Each structure stands twice: as structure tokens, then as C-alpha cells.
Structure 1
């Protein structure tokens, strides 16, 4: 009897959880996890939260210890990547020229930071945040730098800003939009976060365009805006979003469109290949549309479904999108999804001034599309019920 061979391309949370799920479902074939990083898979949210605040070390957010992989006979290949997929021969190529055969393949290749094509963008002292090494570099910076310029007021930019301010670093945040987080939350809720950071001494500059990262002797010294304004800084963080690593899938001829297209079971256009995490552009059975979200919850929860799909068992990923943030004394959870072309209005229950409230996004028929609880807890299940119920609500009763 031939042993089945499953390969996981990727080394983050989704990859680790997929290996766990395969063994939990009694898969007794070979499992090989090919990871670009030299570390065992770890969770990424602490990189911009607790780790930057000095509250957690890598060991605290490593998914499984080395002994787990040994005990469960999961082969981890650190410091390497899958460079190509040959679907005809069902093999993946590695950088040293060798190949691995597979019966089923999982793509968990994640994403990478978007880079700026600007003068000075490759200078020393210009940082991004994706890996533990990136986070370590920022943490070390907080002990020496007096001023930090952050380009981008998205989740990463603002979370790093909060950690920097906690360390006593002066921070200037530069954002092209008129409010932070406009794409994720819209103008009303974006303004909540704008005021939060201003209240903590952040120099928040909105509606600006960066023209250059200034340098001296090859090291970043700040930022020059298009209007000529100069912001002096000891270091610069570029936090302008992420790009999904879909090149491997595209080169293999899988269906892609900004992400790797997957069905409700997370299978790609090749039934022997699944995709999970940041790259998965799923036909969502509850929301009735394709969505691709770069959230920790997908990396955590999708693998359980993908594992069943790889094992030939029926499975559907129907969880609602979920993400969270912690900045200063503000804790927030967001459940649901409002598409970029969807019209929605925001109804708030609670106190915006004290930043203790629940915000609901309603469509034109007063159906709840999403909810965000800020410093209000134990309401997540109620928000889910409102969304999944699909019925009109009375905004005044929310």
C-alpha cells in the first residue's frame, strides 16, 4: 500500500494549524511543511502588539514546540521555499534543484509588505513589519531612537505607533487618506482612531503624499512630502499594506485574481490543491460573494476545513471574518464584512467620547453587515447572530 504524501507550502500559523488538523483527523501519511523562515511557525499579531511592548517573546507565540512536530511525524523544512509546482507530475521544486512529490498540496504562502518606489526607500533605517526579525529590529530601535516617521495609518502602522509611544518615542504618522483606516472602517470610525492617536501625542498628518525618504550617508533621516515639508526622524516605518504571495499559484496555472480563487471548501481550480490564509480568495457561502481578508482568524480557522478537503471529506468554511486590535487603552473586535462597493451606514450604541461603544454597519434594508465592539466585551456572539439572521433591525434598538 502506497503512503499518501501531503505537502504544505508555507511556514506560518495556517501551515502549522493545517498540519495539526491533518493529524487530528487521523491522516497517517507523510506531512512535509516547507517554510521560508528559519523559525518554527508562529503567530503574527504579537509582532505589532505584545512583542513590541516587551510583553511576549517568540516562544510565547510559537504555535507548536519542536517536540510536537517530532511526536506527530511532521517534517519541517526551515529556511527554504517551494519555487514551482508541476501539477502534471504532482511535484514541487525546491531551491536546491530537488523535488518533493505530493498527492495533495496546500498553499499557505501568506503575504509580504508592500514597498514604496521612492528615493531613499532602500536606505538603512527604513523598516517594514512582517517577521520576528522585523519586530526585533523595531523593538531595539525603540531603545535608541527619539523620533519615528510612520508612512501609512493602517492597522500595522497604528499598532507600531502605539507601541513606540509607550516607549517614549516621538511619532509622526503620514497618511494619504483623509482619515486612518478608511478602507477598513470608513470615515466615522476612522476618526475615532485619529483622535485616539492625537490624544496620545502622535503628530498625525492626513491627506499627504510622501515624495522621498531623506538620507545622509545611506541612512534614513526622515521624510520629505510632495509639498516640500520635511519631517525629521531617526528611522522610518513603511506600513502601506501587504501583497499576497500568489506567484507560485499563478505560475502553476491555478485560477487567480488578486488572490488564489478557492471554493467553499477552500479547494483551488485543481482539486488536489487547497489554499488558506492571506492568499485565499474564497466564494463565501454565507456572504454570497468572493472575499479575501488578511486576518489572523482565517489563518487560525481555515486549516481545519482545508484538511478535511485534502482528505476527501465534505467541508465548508463559513465563518464570518473577524479581526482585532489593541492600541493604548483601546481594545477592539470586528466581526462581519462590508465589501468595497457595498453601501452601508454606521449606527453607534454607547459612548464615542469615552471610546466604549458598539458600531454596526447596516445596509439599505437595515440588515447588519458587520459590528465592531470597542472596549465593550462579551457581545461578539450577539453581533454574529444579527449578521447571520439576515433580518432587518430597528436601528434605534441596537
Structure 2
């Protein structure tokens, strides 16, 4: 969905200051399935428990010395966390990737576990590990729940070559469950205590592209206590984005929740941390730093340009949606075009932007931004609602 050219022209005359790849599958390797009696109650348990296998797949993880990964998020953030954004209890997982050694934690094991669904934890030894993915892990649409909990020790890497995680309720290859796929309530995917690095969806224009680390359409997504570093998607294009996360549609139009998480070093045409069309977000106690929107030509693309370059950290487009920031820091991001921190355009002017107890600073917009809102280009319902925050 694109901003109509005449709206942009009018907006700029009043408000301007200054001027992610479907991968081939891989042979499934192994994860350890928890006994059926220990499966966590409630949604998410698969209908058929996978068998336990003992072979060791290639692409073993790499260990690092620290006992845990650096703490993500904004430790000074004081936003309250609603029930919908809290971690899932993973003390009784449906399955575990690894058998206690780094070598047992492989890309193939992750792919197989994600395809099986449910609550997934990792047992890769006492030290943090990086698992380099040789294929994208894809969520099957029949599952009610997918939880990935890395225990603050697991990094999934795309190796700079591929998207890491994919969920799309409108992709028949992952199972067709309803004709109203865009409003499907499940799967409910939770990412907690994980790290994602080197995801790259460049060249994959499925559903418009984007989503270097994670791509989501339909179901629900929440991300808790996790880190995203150096992820990428296509460098040009007027309306694609999300070097870390791209979301299209959420069941019941509920927001994507991001809590206590960090996004750094992302590069994409637009929205080099988060990007969506017509989707709401609630971002709590998080940090966005060093992300760059590198496209050129804005949206719609100016004549002779490929388009893009807006929303250094966050790029949101569509009609009715809300972005809520609370206890969050957005700093040192940049955009070649508009919104060094945030690009927010509600085409029908029903969208709302709420910023509470947050800091936005040093987010240059090389092309344009809204007067009085440093680092932000905003078209929505009235003025943004800002309280207890500093914009500079």
C-alpha cells in the first residue's frame, strides 16, 4: 500500500524540513522431543509427538566464552508489561534442540523443531552458541503455538545469506487452514531470550519482500528479551522493509508486542529494524541504534529512482494502525529520505502515534521530516501523543 503522490506532495509542502528468500529445504536433522507427559498444558502441543533421533547433523553451532549474551533492551525503561507481552513459561517444553553439546545444535535441528511447532528450548551446553542456518526455518500454519526460547544463550545466524524465520498463514506451502488467512488467529509465535544476526532476505520479493531475520503474515507475534544485529533486506524499493522484522497482518488486528529487546546495525531500503503495512505495534523498554534506511526516492518513488530510504529504525504504512513506544530509546539511526527514526504514514489519517517516557535523539533525516518532530515523518490522526519523552 503506497502513499498517494498528491498526499505526499501536499504533506511535504507543509511539513518537510530540508528537503529480505524462500530457501530450499534441508534434510531434517534432530531435536529431542520431550515426553508427552511433560508437554506444557494449553495450546501449542502438536497432535503427534515427533520421534527421538540421535544422529548429528552438519553445521554445528559455535561457542563463545560468556555464560550469557549481553542483556538486551533498555534497562532504564519503566513501561509496564501487559499480560499479552509477557514471556511464555517454557519449563516444560514440547521439544528441545540439542542434547547438551554445541555440535548437537544445528540448523537442521532448528528447522525440524520449528516445523513441528509447540514450545521449543535449547540444550547446547553451558556457553552461548551461534547456530548458522543453512535453510530458513518455516512455521506450519496448522500449529496453534510456536515458542522459541534460547535461554539468553542462543543466536540464530543467517550467515548474511538467508532469512532466518518465516511464518505466513497465506502460504499454502505451509498448510492452508482458512480462506481468511490474513485474519488467522494462529499460530501464536513468541520469540524470547534469543538473538538473531546476519539475516538477509535480499532478492526475495514474496509478499513484497523484507523481513531479513523474521517475516510474518497472519497469526500473532511477540518478541521478548531478544537481540537483532546486522540484519538486511533489499537496499531499494519504495514500500518494502524490515531488516530485522517485517509483519503483514495480525489476527484480530492486535498489535505486535516488542518488549525489552534491542535492534542494531540493520540495513534495508526502509525500516531497518521494524516494518509493516496496516499493522499496529507496541514497543516497550527497547533500544534501536545504528540502523539505516538506504533506499533512494521515497514512496512513491520519484521519477528516475528505485524508491525507498525512509524510516531508519521503523517504517509503518497503511490505514488504521497504532504505534506505541514506551520506555524506549531510538538513537543514531538514519534515513536517506524521511524519518531517521520513524516513518509513520496512515493513508486515511486514522492511525495514531503514542510516545511515552522515551528518548529519540540523533536520528538524521537527510530528506524530510515533520516540523517539531525530530527524526520523525508523521501523517496520521491529529498530532502524535507525546508525554514524558525527549525528542532531539
Q: State the TM bucket, normalised to the shorter chain.
A: under 0.3
Between structure 1 and structure 2, the one with the greater Rg is 1
Higher helix proportion, which one? 1
Give TM-score, length-normalised by structure 2: 0.26
